[in-house]
Structure 1
Amino acid sequence: MSLQSKTLSGISWTFLEQFGSKAIGFIVQIILARLIEPEEFGLLGMILIFNAVGNSLSDSGMSQSLIRSDNPDEKDFATVFTMNFVISMFLYLVFWFTAPLISEFYDQPRLTNLIRVYSLVIVINSLFTIQKTRLTYNLNFKYQMKAQLPALLIAGSIGILLAFLDFGVWALVYMEIVTGLALTIIYFFQTRWIPKFTLYREKLSEHFSFGYKITLAGILSRIVRNIFPMIIGKYFSAAMVGYYTRASTMKEFPVATISGTLDKVFYPLFSKIKNDTIKLKKAYQRAQILVLLVLSTIMLLLILTAHPLFGVLLGEKWLPAVPYFQLLCITGIFYPLNKYNSNILKIKGRTDLYLKMAVITQVTLILGIILTVRYGIIPLILSQVVNSFIGALINIHFANKFIDYSFKEQFTDVFKTVFPGLVVFTILFSIIKLSPIFDDIHYFFQLITLGSVFLVLLVFIHLIFKTRSIQELLGLIKTSHIGKPLQKFLK
């Protein structure tokens, strides 16, 4: 099968896998949010940072090194698998013995056992990472969909059952463990790849030299991204952590589904054309415009309808999370600029610059946290919004060095793509604030009315001005196959 054919197939299957998995996860989380109190979600939110760091360390960025390699063989896969597993076991022991100290830090005795059990996810995930990497390298996303969806359905059903039985936060923990176990089993039967506990020095050196910089950058990113629940849990309350993590999860659903779908295919695809700068720039530019159009539209719509959306889906006990959610949605608009520009550095093998960029952006965020934490949660989240904007500027600066996509060009594309949505959002948001009539309308009808008016006006403006972004989107809609437009990306 040719590269184009694999890519077209990959787009289709990855969309189904990403949308299906995120939809299942979203529905499961909605049900769990109605069965479990915010305080219980908050307890898990306090320890997410440790699991996130553990997963980054156990992989050491070497899986991405495998994907960008020209011809990885069994020695490559065996070496990376063995290293991932050994590191994950070491990290599990570290978290086991430090669990009491972490519990004492939060003044939450229940966290000791939670950490010791939840950290098993790090070890379990290391068992199927290479199988998944092998499929990604070959652009075989059909098998990944057939693994992901059943695993999530099984784990989600068990999580909901345990929540009905009043397991509280343990329902969330066991659900994550079952997900990892199910994926391990399914990937084994799909790929029939039997791991070999073998290390080859030359292979380890090759992949580690590429991966450790990505790992350091990933650790910094995950620490800072997950440090907000930790800080909120330390200085505020478990309920506040629950509100924040719920707001973050709601925001991540569209961001991860849309951008994650394309990124999962584009990273290995762009890696294969990394030496053709002109082709890479053209493909990257069009991908970013499309993702930015869709994500900015969805994020602005979610900000506009946040109050009725939470009322309909989660119930009024979660309404305190609405302001957090609205602010976090702003960071979602900047996501394509941050993600795709930074990916250029990895594709080009410049992990040194990738690490440098990560250090700069995370240091600025930490400074923002230090300056705002004393003033409350809203200023704390605002520091995250500001940092997303700063990070986008930094990523654009670095990426421009390799694909000649200047700041002026990117700013022009971004402005033309996002500005129509901002105009419509400003008009409707002003009407909502100035008119009390919406307070007397049921949440569901508020959601339908605002959503419909916003989308109709936005499409009308884009069509009137014939923006490039809407032309690209219409090109996708007019095709009968979701992957066909990507052929133009590769020309």
Structure 2
Amino acid sequence: MFDMQHVHRDLRRHSVRGAAATMVSQAGMFCVQLAGLALLARLLMPADFGVFGKTVALTGFITVLRSGGLSLATVQRAEVTHAQVSTLFWLNLAVGLAAATLLAALGPLMAWFYRDPRVLWLVVALAGSIFVDSLSIQHTALMQRQMRFGTIGSINVAARIVGFVMAIGSAWQGAGYWALVVQQYGTSLAMLVLVVSSCHWLPDLPRRGSGVRPMVKMGAHQSLSNVLNFANRNMDNILIGRFVSDVALGFYSQAYRLLLLPVQQINSPISSVVVPALSRLQDQPERFARFYYRAMGTMTFLGMPVICFLLVDAHSVIRVVLGEKWLPVVPLFQTLGVAAFMGTFNVAGGWVYSALGQTARRLRQQAFSCPVTIGAFFSGLPWGALGVAAAFSITRVVLVWPALAYCYRGSPITTRGTFTTLIRPATAAIGAGLALWGIRAVAPWRDQPLWVVLDGLIYAAIYMAIWLVVPGGRARLREMKSLLHDLKPKTNQGCAQ
């Protein structure tokens, strides 16, 4: 049986160490992805990203099923046996194989939907990567359970580098959109090799009566919820790819990707630390709530100012990162900014569902919000990609608070506590953005894209100054500073104990 008592003895220290390790690795991940995105944007055309993006948007409904939600079952359970994880491994393998087979079989139908024969072969090619990904799901879940976030982060960075190097080499040789397929396989294969070699865990044959039935049920709810969440996030790409153009989708998808890239580098590592920690505080409501608000505060302290800065300095950022040919992205980038701002904290609702094992409730919430979002996408479609972007931002504003209120029902978390946590970073981020916008209106360097670094320094200084004057801001900054005293090297442990 996997011994997690060391986590209970000092949860705070382990969580802070994990957060520190993952934040460092995510900083490396951000640099790798930003550099790779900049190079690929100059080697490929917007239409290349469009044809690949619309294919992935449609195939993703099956791709998200490859884990069967079983990784959450491994992480969330207070105790889990070797026999259970072994059985889940073989279930993951079967689900991944079935999903890959189904995806390849649906290739002709997807090509017919888009009226584009290129989609057929892209679908068939991408099917194999689903099976590759399914091989390492339980190994990664075990490392998350052991809070080996530094190792996981290093593996992610290394795998991304492999994928981007292979994609850039392919694009340089004129592979076009196939370079993005090469990137997918390069990343997946590198992840598989590195995760399995780092975990040092091998499964036994599956066993009947190992007690995985409740875990499979939880995983099924999680998978269905993931499908609905994917529809929320990707139906816009499908509609633009089908009814507008590949070029428009290329602009839209890159705007969305660039805008959310820094947020993902913040939210993902924090979430990977928070969910296992909260899962072990299920029976301690006060500690659960305190840890939750603290994590949300840290996440928004970092994420909200990044989004506001990107919106103010959009022209310069697009020129520097993507190049002059991508300037039509700017209006889409700014319109999607509202959705991205809300995205700095709406992931926190998923923490509660996952930590408390309430995947069925999450599924019900997604079943309500998904049709609303898709309906909004259709309503914005007559105005093209910009109309869809506006519809997305509007629905995020309208739905986020009711969704959190429903999520918190019956939990130690309250909407009032969440509002109190969010008000300081939101005020500081928006205030600093307005100040920078005023400075840029009269600054002599406002038309010089390379001065984006100076803009960033000015914004950061104003943001921190506002934190020093808002009520409670100084105390919050001192609390974050105190976390540094807990950051000590941690020796990684093997997956099997």
Give TM-score, length-normalised by structure 2. 0.90
Distance 1:186 1:455 in 2: 37
2:143 counterpart (135, 141, 163): 135
3-state SS of 1:402 partner: coil
1:406 counterpart (399, 409, 414): 414
Distance 1:302 1:463 in 2: 23
3-state SS of 1:57 partner: coil
Summarize the Cα distance change of 1:89–1:27 in structure 2 as closer, same or farther, 3 Å threshold.
same
Q: Which amino acid aligns with 2:470?
A: F
TM-aligned CA deviation for residue 204 of structure 1? 3.7
Match of 1:192 in 2: 200
Q: Which amino acid aligns with 1:471?
A: A
1:63 counterpart (43, 55, 71): 71
Q: How does 1:50-129 map to 2 (within 5 A)?
A: 50-129=58-137
TM-aligned CA deviation for residue 393 of structure 1? 0.9
Summarize the Cα distance change of 1:6–1:282 in structure 2 as closer, same or farther, 3 Å threshold.
closer
Task: Give a deviation string over 1:120-141, Cα, whole Å, max 9, x none.
Answer: 1111100011111111111122
Match of 1:364 in 2: 372
Match of 2:229 in 1: 221
TM-aligned CA deviation for residue 255 of structure 1? 0.8
3-state SS of 1:225 partner: helix
TM-aligned CA deviation for residue 358 of structure 1? 1.2
**Structure 2, unpaired ranges of 5+:** 1-5, 489-497
Q: Which amino acid aligns with 1:476?
A: M
Distance 2:84 2:455 in 1: 53
Summarize the Cα distance change of 1:197–1:160 in structure 2 as closer, same or farther, 3 Å threshold.
farther
Root mean square deviation of aligned Cα: 2.2
3-state SS of 1:71 partner: coil
Distance 1:300 1:97 in 2: 44
**Structure 1, unpaired ranges of 5+:** 485-491
Match of 1:462 in 2: 467
2:169 counterpart (150, 161, 167): 161
Distance 1:71 1:223 in 2: 33
Distance 1:185 1:458 in 2: 42
8 Å Cα contact 1:81-1:197 kept in structure 2? no
3-state SS of 1:422 partner: helix
Aligned residues: 480
Q: Which amino acid aligns with 1:22?
A: F
Task: Give a deviation string over 1:87-125, Cα, whole Å, max 9, x none.
Answer: 221121222122122112212211111111112111110
3-state SS of 1:193 partner: coil
Match of 1:450 in 2: 455
Distance 1:123 1:110 in 2: 22
Distance 2:485 2:41 in 1: 36
Distance 1:127 1:426 in 2: 48
Q: How does 1:252-401 map to 2 (within 5 A)?
A: 252-401=260-409
8 Å Cα contact 1:217-1:355 kept in structure 2? yes
Give TM-score, length-normalised by structure 1. 0.91
Match of 1:245 in 2: 253
Q: Which amino acid aligns with 2:267?
A: S
8 Å Cα contact 1:79-1:203 kept in structure 2? no
8 Å Cα contact 2:297-2:422 kept in structure 1? yes
Match of 1:487 in 2: none
8 Å Cα contact 1:292-1:333 kept in structure 2? no
2:476 counterpart (465, 469, 472): 472
Distance 2:247 2:486 in 1: 42
Summarize the Cα distance change of 1:459–1:15 in structure 2 as closer, same or farther, 3 Å threshold.
closer
Percent identity, aligned pairs only, is 20
* Structure whose residues are more often helix by fraction: 1
TM-aligned CA deviation for residue 427 of structure 1? 4.4
Match of 1:22 in 2: 30
3-state SS of 1:108 partner: coil
Task: Give a deviation string over 1:196-244, Cα, whole Å, max 9, x none.
Answer: 4525355342112112111111101112211111111111111111111
